[in-house]
Structure 1
Amino acid sequence: MLRVFCKTLLITKSKDSKSRHALFLRTIASIESTSGNLGSIDQNDLTISYLMNLCGLPLKAATSMAQKIRIETTERPDSVIELLQTNGFTNTHIANLITSFPRLLFADPIKTLKPKIEFFQSLGFSRSHLALFLSSDQTILRRSLQKKIIPTLNILKTFVHTNENLISALKQSNRILGCSIKRILEPNIATLRRFRVPDSSISRMIIHQPKLLTLSVWRLKDVAAVVNNMGFDPNRCSFIIAIFSISVMSKQKWERKREAFRSFGWSDDEFLLAFKLQPMIMLTSEKKLVKLMDFFVNNLHLKPSDVVRSPSLFLLSLEKRIIPRCSVLQVLMSKGLIEKDVNIFSALICNKQSFEKRFVTRYEGEAPELIKAYEGELGFLGFDSFDTGVEDGERIKQIN
């Protein structure tokens, strides 16, 4: 009988919690009238109904969760849901939380949940951002506020200084809240300082790449040693970026990417030069690296040794940026509006505003098709003859 009512409730589910709760109670009342008393209702059915109608879970998920928890009275779950809704949690947020942490329904809303929500609000989280943040990882609400969350954030704040920076770090990765202060955070900070990384760089790392501090102590030590041996300057941001680039992938994947560069003729020294100029190059997928290098060598007729000195090219989109810009240059060259010795590296790497001012808006009156070329509507056919604009032996300067 209750399963029939559950299906009906799913179809007629109300938007506000009070209406949905009233509907739930009317359902139970209907069952009481047919079965004599609420105690005779199958407890699993009661749990499933509550999870579906008050927590927003679909039937399959509610049925599965009913094997893990049993709702015998709705007083505590009602208080938990009311607290969450009052603080900006949507039905989707609540469903995500309950799905990953079903026992949240039985937490003490006043002593356990409310203080944590109020603490994060005091940092400056907006209601919508806080709801998204807390619902994205149920373990945050399971951690002790006084013993875990506050001490961890106090350590981070000694580096990032402001609540705004602290929130930025947490939005990048909330995993840092689950790390042991004594076993992970403090040893990893000590490792970076041992390699002469200044606190200002550690601060930027926490704001933009806090995951690095969550690495195992031995892993961070090993990677930092490798980066140091490569000749990276610990006073520069590239030192931290290089650590991140190496740490996020397996040795096998790293070697496959190096082999991709070797297949186009790069030596180990050339690879090291490119990586030191732009350590984010190894965050590009192997497939994209090969595709880009093939385009540079076979379509633009660039020498692999020249590409080495502008590795930021591998961070660009072939379809959305490189080909449209090459198409623009192709149109301008074909009309004699620019010389064929234009520096292709400069044209591809410069920012959007600079490229448009130099090559698009300046000539669109004389070459209306430039807009189509720039928007990717014209295919790139190649340059009749091509010169990078760099004399033999001259080092191509990387343009950031």
Structure 2
Amino acid sequence: MVRKLTLAAMLEIQNPHIFLFRVSCSVDTSPAKSQKTNTISVTYLINTCGLSPEGAILASKWVELQSSERADSVLELLRNYGASQTQISKLIRSHPRLLLTDPEKTLLPELEFFSSLEISKVDLLKTLAFNPKLLEISLRNRILPTCNFLRSMLSEKNVGVVFKLKSWIFLEGHCKHLVPNIGLLRESGMPQPCISFLLTRGTRVLMVNPEKFGQLVSEVKEMGFNLEKSTSVNALCALCGKNKLVLNRSREVLKTWGWSEDDFLSAFRKYPQCMVVSEKKLMQAMDLLVNKMGWSSGMIAKYPVAFGLSFERRLIPRCSVIKVLLLKGFINENLNLSRERTEKQFLEIFVNRYLGEVPELLSVYLSREGRYPGCMI
């Protein structure tokens, strides 16, 4: 007589990880009912949620499914919001207890609220997959109050930007760090537009411990920054956390090119964000501007915005154009490339103006790497 195998038994044969999991349960002292429930959970996490056997076994420690009814409803709701199987797997792997959430009373209100923040469903799902703990915290007690605080200072669009790029702010809330730090900035004279800019682009700075944040503000003042100007916002970001390590490394690298401490501080005051770049980029830019273009190191210190330009896409093409114009005598060597100009401004001043006399100039610029006969730098 041929014995029919159950679905669970067939799964064990096909997947030895589940078999080993059942064996480990059999020698456990926990009740048999719990062992059976965990087996059901592992099977569901693998077959329905797309987790690996190892991931399913780990996740099953946090979720015990008596049946699949509620879990099925949770997954259906996520799919209705456009979640892919990959995103669902990541969500469940990071937050397995999501399967036990009440889809109508808890999950749906949260998804509807997040969807109201002027972000696309694609961005919403990416954010949730990146930070699934957002679905763990209370909508009423944590998310909504923090969102209302942000709305008091930002446009609805920028609230969505903060949620999309700095979603961890909702996990901690606004009371512990944001409120006292923003209060200090207001007392120090920083205007609301600068605070709003910092909140949108440098949120991590405002989440620093208030005592350390006070020291950071004092340091920015001592370096000569006016908190009423937007450059102070960039300075705060540049002096915070890992950025400060990069900044200190930039100081040492530029000293090897002849910069004094005053040169560095002067450059930092003008364009703080341009000084927080990799050592490789600094070396490439200085080699190009000093060794190949012939400009003095001291002149670059006066116009450090060059460090903020993309080396391949902007700095090399611009230098290539300038080199051609220098060779043909249309401009003199005192001209500097490091002044802050938009692409439109640069094209108008240095390319379009000379196309009649140097028709190849546009090709030099568009080559993006200066690979044009006679203009290599």
TM over 0.5: yes
Q: Does 1:103 align with 2:97?
A: yes
Q: Percent identity?
A: 34
Whether 1:305 aligns to 2:305 is no
What does residue 370 of structure 1 align with? 361
- The offset of 1:234, in angstroms, is 0.8
Partner in structure 2 of residue 133 of structure 1: 127
Shift of 1:69: 3.5
Aligned to 2:26: none
Alignment of 1:68-107 (within 5 A): 68-107=62-101
Structure 2 residue 169 is matched with structure 1 residue 176: yes
3-state DSSP of counterpart to 1:80: helix
Quote the Cα distance in structure 1 between the aligned partners of 2:111 and 2:158.
19
CA distance in 2, matches of 1:327, 1:178: 49
Give the deviation of 1:259 after TM superposition: 1.2
Match of 1:145? 139
* Deviations 1:164-187 (CA, angstroms, capped at 9, x unpaired): 221122223112112243321211
In the TM superposition, 1:21-32 aligns within 5 A as none
Residue 221 of structure 1: aligned partner: 214
Mapped partners of 2:322, 2:250: distance in 1: 30
With the length of structure 1 as denominator, give the TM-score of the two structures: 0.79
Query: For residue 91 of structure 1, what is the amino acid of its counterpart?
Result: Q
**Aligned pair partner of 2:331 in 339, 350, 353:** 339
Structure 2 residue 353 is matched with structure 1 residue 353: no
Q: Distance in 2 between matches of 1:335 and 1:49?
A: 74
Matched, 1:157 2:151: yes
Opposite residue 359 of structure 1, the aligned amino acid is F
Deviations 1:163-210 (A, max 9, x none): 222112222311211224332121111221222112222122222222
1:2 aligns with 2:7: no
Partner of 2:256: 263
Match of 2:265 among 261, 265, 272: 272
Could you say what secondary structure the match of 1:345 adopts? coil
Alpha-carbon distance change, 330 to 297 in structure 1, aligned in 2, over 3 angstroms: closer
Closer/same/farther in 2, CA of residues 163 and 5 from structure 1, 3 Å limit: farther
CA contact (8 A) 1:6 1:49 kept: no
Instruction: Give the one of 235, 246, 249 matched to 2:242.
Output: 249
User: What do residues 231-284 of structure 1 show as CA deviations (whole Å, max 9, x unaligned)?
Assistant: 111111111110011103265543322111222221222211111100102321
- In structure 2, what is the equivalent of residue 57 of structure 1? 51
Q: Give secondary structure in 2 for the equivalent of 1:258.
A: helix
**Gap change, CA 1:344 and 1:164, over 3 Å in 2:** same
Uncovered stretches (5+) of structure 2, i.e. residues with no partner: 1-9, 17-32
1-side partners of 2:118 and 2:243: how far apart? 37
Question: Relative to structure 1, is the Cα distance of residues 52 and 366 closer, same or farther in structure 2, using a 3 angstrom cutoff?
Answer: farther
Q: Over residues 45-71 of structure 1, what are the superposed CA-to-partner deviations in whole Å (9 max), with x where a residue is unaligned?
A: 543332233223344433443454443
- Which residue of 2 is the match for residue 19 of structure 1? none
TM-score (norm 2): 0.83
Give the letter aligned to residue 341 of structure 1.
Answer: E
